[in-house]
Amino acid sequence: MTHPSEQSPPPGIRARLHEIIFEAETPAGKAFDVALLWAILLSVLAVMLESVAPIRAQYGQVIRVAEWVFTVLFTVEYMLRLFSVSRPWLYARSFYGLVDLLAILPSYVSLMLPGAQSLLVVRILRLLRIFRVLKLVSFLGQAEVLLTALRASRQKITVFLLAVLSTVVIMGSVMYLVEGEANGFDSIPRGMYWAIVTMTTVGFGDITPKTVPGQFIASALMILGYGVIAVPTGIVSVELAAATRQGINPEACPGCGAEGHDVDAVHCKFCGTRL
Amino acid sequence: MTHPSEQSPPPGIRARLHEIIFEAETPAGKAFDVALLWAILLSVLAVMLESVAPIRAQYGQVIRVAEWVFTVLFTVEYMLRLFSVSRPWLYARSFYGLVDLLAILPSYVSLMLPGAQSLLVVRILRLLRIFRVLKLVSFLGQAEVLLTALRASRQKITVFLLAVLSTVVIMGSVMYLVEGEANGFDSIPRGMYWAIVTMTTVGFGDITPKTVPGQFIASALMILGYGVIAVPTGIVSVELAAATRQGINPEACPGCGAEGHDVDAVHCKFCGTRL
Amino acid sequence: MTHPSEQSPPPGIRARLHEIIFEAETPAGKAFDVALLWAILLSVLAVMLESVAPIRAQYGQVIRVAEWVFTVLFTVEYMLRLFSVSRPWLYARSFYGLVDLLAILPSYVSLMLPGAQSLLVVRILRLLRIFRVLKLVSFLGQAEVLLTALRASRQKITVFLLAVLSTVVIMGSVMYLVEGEANGFDSIPRGMYWAIVTMTTVGFGDITPKTVPGQFIASALMILGYGVIAVPTGIVSVELAAATRQGINPEACPGCGAEGHDVDAVHCKFCGTRL
Amino acid sequence: MTHPSEQSPPPGIRARLHEIIFEAETPAGKAFDVALLWAILLSVLAVMLESVAPIRAQYGQVIRVAEWVFTVLFTVEYMLRLFSVSRPWLYARSFYGLVDLLAILPSYVSLMLPGAQSLLVVRILRLLRIFRVLKLVSFLGQAEVLLTALRASRQKITVFLLAVLSTVVIMGSVMYLVEGEANGFDSIPRGMYWAIVTMTTVGFGDITPKTVPGQFIASALMILGYGVIAVPTGIVSVELAAATRQGINPEACPGCGAEGHDVDAVHCKFCGTRL
């Protein structure tokens, strides 16, 4: 699978290819991105449809052919990417490089190991390649604000999750004691699964308390979960408000170059220079 | 169905009709709106009740008669609307024009195609006509603030939905692999349906994980969904706060330039200058 | 049931009784409130326990006796209230007056109409009397802030509920068409019930979509409901923030007496007087 | 179980032990905390796994041995704690002292009372010891902000919970009347359990309304619960915003008196005065 022309391409072709494949400023680059987006979506759709028994029975042949067309296309694309970057090995080991490889590898492996059908589901990870394409468009700014808010609330959310998980462990054990195996709570992990289902207000109903004390404890847990959902929401709201406000003032201090001033700031809060 | 008098109505009648049918300032216009509101609500109720088998068996005749009374009333109203606007074709192609047509068409079509009973359910869209009536009342301002907030958070919500949908696709595939057909996860789309049911904390319980690894992955997904619901709430809160603030007062103080005054403020709250 | 001494009580006794029964400033008034609170809670507990078949079988006699003790106590209290207010008829027709009457009436009626057992459940409304007692304590301020926020967001929440209900009607009709009677969607109202169960993320699972298009539509509705829950939360957060902020500044303008100034206000926003 | 050397330890050893066991500033103290954290997590995992029947059948012996190793370790640690503090009795009666005792007691009691197997589940409370270790690390500040917000909103949340519980009692009674025993609502407490399951949007589906009026009332309750969840979220958001703001900077500018500066601010952002 070594590319023969990799040793000596005219530098112009390499740069041009890089521009088309990795950038989106030129019309060719944009067209490439749009085509790639469709190829990814269609190939993910093919993987999904192949898993549906009646569709596989009727259109299995068509889907397999489409699948190989996408695999060959993505293989060519992967090689072009390797070829157009100046340090191929660095790209191959990067996150997107690995996702690009994972998008084509299962098809080839399934040729050699005919039994490894379940491996084909790994191809669904091609979906992650969408983010590579989207990375280049205007949504990035919004995603950045969201990520800043989530990053800023990371510690608070950890504390919150720790409290939730402790409640889950203790409540799961209590219900294992109170309800017992006869009512489906046949181990502490099963009780914890039930506690998570209940506290997150999902409530599948596959395991439910049958005894009166069990239903009483469950009621308390539900009201707790109902009130507790307010905490992450409050955390994210506050951080998001901060991130949005910050995002509004993009200018740096003319005196010391510091950024991140509030919108209503008249003087730099670090050096006192008038903004 | 051409209206004979459409060519030469005295302009006074046309303007008067327009005022009654499209506006709500005059007593006659208000009375028309209230009557229309009741007619819409009653006709929607009739469509609902007709779908209930025991009621259809006993009161079918009454409902069918009421249905035709409403259809004739709405037909007359539709013609008057066509007649009273200066450019009928533009009205007929507008959103509300189409809704008005959809409100009467199914009844007539069902006369010609007696088999198309299911078409009659389309009449439920008459409900949308309510918004035409409400468009004229004071709730509009509040709806505007809500819509402004939603519009402003459109991009953030798109990013959020993209992340949710990717999680759904990948989690649905993982559960299809882990649980398999025996436990109800018989295809990737079915797994995705389950992932949406779980992540949105709806939790029907029609498909639930039975294996230990499946329940472990489900627990992780539930806690993720529980935490992630905080994100849209945070987004909307922040934008709604901004929209409310904006909607309230956009002008700065002529004295000190401070902003953010209440709508009812006469003097600047910082320097006392008259606004 | 006329009170013979109603015509001529010494005014001192009347005023003293009013102070004890209706106020909570004096030690006697506080003791009365605490005793009333316990009587209400215990009588509500008795109504609850009487509805549990095994408990009724074993302790039925005890509960019935306790029930009559509470009924007589509340009857005496009701008469004392009638007696101690200056305009008994106005009190009897007020909200709390009716609740006080409802708390004792079912027991007497069940004596005359022995079959009206289900009427006894009405006694659970005694619970509402708790709010009469709590009205007098310090929680009132907090409840006021909450109510102010809810009142301020009333219009926005109405617009929101209108949008939710329209979605419910249309989605319920669509599912009635798509899934049909065979899958439990046997009428439009049933479909609407399902749509509410789904959109509010309750998800009982008593009715679930079985067909592929039905599950697809359900998925869309769930994601919509998941996102839409952000709206009332945002509304209440914003209004609550406003109500809390308002609540912080209790002082009136020395110039014009207007209230409701922001905490950071230096001048009255109406007349410009320095605060 | 008295420690013979408790009467006369060299004060240096005692102080050194206290530093290692109770503090986390020294390398030895940090190493002790990390080791303790792992011991707690592993012993909790052992309790969990022992409750799973197949694992108990196969690895029961290993788990029991591990269990006793942890018990002996925690016993030694408990004694060292008693020994290293200056007032052992005060420590023994403190919250963490009791948790430390509860972590080792069940194992010894189960030796004497062989039937008390269910007592062993109490060992899961060892999990609470994690918070002792975490108390010493940097997450504390974040937890403090969260707790401040929850404390500040305590009264509002009490009012909210009171309203929710009253709704639950009344709705549970109404459904007991409307649906009756035949549909699973066999007592008022059962109806209240259902009302909590529904209003918190958990929706197990173990009890569901079957009659038309029951489904109508349930729909109203669901929409109420859906809207009402906005209230605690709003409360916590507002208080969290206040706590975050407070936690950040309480001091006013010496120049102009403006407040609300960031923690990292050196100059006032309004007038430029050095803070």
Q: Give residue B235's pLDDT.
A: 81
Rg (CA), chain B: 27
Percent of chain B exceeding pLDDT 70 equals 80
pLDDT at A154: 80
Q: What angle do CA B253, B258, B264 make, to 5 degrees?
A: 60
The dihedrals phi and psi of C132, each to the nearest 5 degrees, come to -60, -45
Is the pLDDT reported for residue B137 higher than 60? no
Q: Residue A114's Cα: distance from chain center in Å?
A: 30
- Does residue D222 register a pLDDT over 60? yes
How many CB atoms are closer than 10 A to CB A55? 16
pTM of the prediction? 0.83
The rounded distance, in Å, linking the Cα atoms of B193 and B172 is 7
Angstrom distances, CA of residue C173 to CA of A65, B38, C81, C186: 40, 20, 53, 11
The C-alpha atoms of residue C169 and residue C191 are separated, in whole angstroms, by 8
Tokens 């009421």 locate to B66
| Domain limits, CATH 1.10.287.70, in chain C | 140-246
For B217-237, the pLDDT digits (tens) are 999 999 888 877 778 878 888
Predicted confidence (pLDDT) at residue C2 exceeds the cutoff of 50: no
A233 close contact with C: CB closer than 8 A? yes
Most confident of A162-166, B70-74, B132-136, C11-15: B70-74
Question: A161 vs B226: CB contact, 8 Å cut-off?
Answer: no
Position C256 pLDDT exceeds 70: no
H helices present in chain C, as ranges: 11-22, 27-50, 53-84, 88-93, 95-112, 129-134, 139-152, 154-178, 188-199, 212-228, 230-248
Query: Does any CB of chain C come closer than 8 Å to the CB of residue D230?
Result: yes
Integer CA distances (angstroms), C32 to A71, B154, B192, C18, C74, in order: 82, 56, 60, 11, 13
**pLDDT tens track, chain A, 275 positions:** 344 444 445 567 888 888 888 777 788 888 888 898 899 999 999 989 988 888 989 998 999 899 899 999 999 999 998 888 888 888 888 888 888 888 888 888 888 876 656 777 788 888 888 877 776 455 666 777 777 777 877 877 888 888 889 899 999 999 998 998 889 898 999 999 999 999 998 999 999 999 999 999 999 999 888 877 778 878 888 887 777 665 444 455 566 655 555 555 666 656 666 66
Suggest the residue from D119, D169, D231, D240 to mutate for an interface test with chain A (most A CBs closer than 10 A).
Answer: D240
B4 versus A133: the higher-pLDDT residue is: A133
Task: Give CA–CA dist C231/B236, Å, rounded.
Answer: 6
| A190 neighbors A268 (Cβ within 8 angstroms) | no
Per residue in C57-66, pLDDT (tens digit) is 999 899 989 9
- The one-letter amino acid code at D206 reads D
* Predicted pLDDT of residue C25: 74
A44 contact residues in B (CB cutoff 8 A): 169
Lowest average pLDDT, out of A138-152, D181-195, D221-235, goes to A138-152
Pick from C260, A235, C151, A155: which is nearest to D238 by CA? A235
pLDDT, mean over chain D: 80
How far apart are the C-alpha atoms of B244 and C66, rounded to whole Å?
54
Q: Which long-range contacts (CB under 8 A, 24 or more apart) does A137-141 make?
A: A137/A24, A138/B155, A139/B155, A139/B158, A139/B159, A141/A247
Mean per-residue pLDDT for B258-270? Answer: 57
Query: Comparing C-alpha atoms, which of D62, D133, D73 is closest to residue D107?
Result: D73
Q: Where are the beta strands (DSSP E) in B69-108?
A: none
Least confident range from A246-250, B206-210, C19-23, D54-58: namely A246-250
CA–CA gap between residue A257 and residue A245 (Å, rounded): 19
Confidence of residue B2 (pLDDT cuts 50, 70, 90): very low
Tell me the nearest-neighbour CA distance from D206 into chain C, angstroms. Answer: 8
Residue for token digits 């957060």? C237
Q: Does A157 touch chain D (CB under 8 A)?
A: no
Question: Which of D215, D239, D253, D270 to mutate: most C Cβ within 10 Å?
Answer: D215
User: CB–CB of D205 and C203 under 8 A?
Assistant: yes
pLDDT reported for residue D215: 93
Report which secondary-structure segment, H or E, holds D118.
none
Nearest to C232 among D208, D227, D235 (CB): D227
Q: How many Å separate Cα A212 from the centre of its chain?
A: 42
Cα B198 from chain centroid (whole Å): 25
* More reliable by pLDDT, B23 or C163: C163
Question: Given a cut of 50, is residue B5 above it in pLDDT?
Answer: no
Give C202's contacts in chain A (Cβ within 8 Å): 203
Question: Could you tell me which chains touch chain C, where touching means 3 or more CB pairs under 8 A?
Answer: A, B, D
- Which one, of C190, C13, C31, C140, lies nearest residue C84 by Cα? C13
Mean pLDDT over each residue of chain B, to the nearest integer: 80
Chain B contact for A195 (CB, 8 A cutoff) = no
Highest mean pLDDT among A44-48, C101-105, C142-146: A44-48
Chains touching chain D through at least 3 C-beta pairs below 8 angstroms are: A, B, C
Q: What is the pLDDT of residue A2?
A: 42
Count CB neighbours of D81 within 10 A: 19
Which residue, among A73, A76, A125, has the nearest Cα to A103 in the 3D structure? A125
Asked whether residue D144 carries a pLDDT value surpassing 70, the answer given is yes
Q: What ipTM was predicted for this assembly?
A: 0.80
More confident residue, A274 or D193: D193
D213 touches chain C (CB under 8 A): no
* Residue C256 C-alpha from the chain's centroid: 38
Phi, psi torsion values for C13, nearest 5 degrees: -65, -45
Given CB atoms, is B70 within the 8 Å cutoff of chain A? no
Neighbours of B, requiring at least 3 CB pairs below 8 Å, are A, C, D
The answer to whether A44 and A124 are in contact (CB under 8 A) is yes
Torsions phi, psi for A267 (to 5 deg): -115, 150
Residues 6+ apart with CB under 8 A from B219: A192, A193, A196, A197
C267 three-class SS: strand
Of the ranges A157-171, C102-116, C124-138, which one carries the lowest mean pLDDT score? Answer: C124-138
Task: Tell how far CA D218 is from the center of its chain.
Answer: 33
Shortest distance, CA C248 to any CA of chain B (angstroms) = 16
Interface test with A, best of C226, C233, C240 (most A CBs within 10 A): C233
pLDDT computed for residue B269 by the predictor: 60
D-chain CB neighbours of A231 within 8 Å are 146, 150, 236, 240
With a cut of 80, say whether residue D46 has pLDDT above it: yes
Question: Is pLDDT of B74 > 80?
Answer: yes
Q: Report which listed range, A20-34, B180-194, B236-250, is most confident.
A: B180-194
Q: Tell me the β-bridge partners of D267.
A: D274
Architecture per CATH, domain C4-135, reads as: Up-down Bundle (1.20)
Shortest distance, CA A243 to any CA of chain B (angstroms): 10
Query: Smallest Cβ distance to A237: which of B173, B201, B233?
Result: B233
| Spatial separation of the C-alpha atoms in residues A252 and A1, rounded to whole Å | 50
Comparing A188-197, B205-214, D114-123, the range with the smallest average pLDDT is: D114-123
**pLDDT score of C7:** 46
Q: Residue D49: beta bridge partners? A: none
φ and ψ of D51, to 5 deg: -80, -10
Comma-separated ranges of CATH 1.20.120.350 domains in chain B: 4-135
Which residues on A lie below 8 Å from B230 (Cβ)? 229, 232-233, 235-237
| Alpha helix ranges (H) inside chain A | 11-22, 27-50, 53-84, 88-93, 95-102, 105-112, 129-134, 139-152, 154-178, 188-199, 212-228, 230-248
Q: Please identify, in words, the CATH class of the domain defined by D140-246.
A: mainly alpha
Q: What is the pLDDT of residues B157-179, one digit of tens each?
A: 888 888 889 899 999 999 998 99
Q: pLDDT tens digit string along B105-124?
A: 888 888 887 665 677 778 88
Beta-carbon neighbour count of residue D251 at 10 Å?
9
Q: Which one-letter amino acid corresponds to residue A171?
A: M
- Give pLDDT, residue C185: 92
Higher pLDDT, D114 or B156: B156
Residue indicated by tokens 């005065």: D273
Q: Give residue-wise pLDDT tens across range C231-245.
A: 887 888 887 777 766
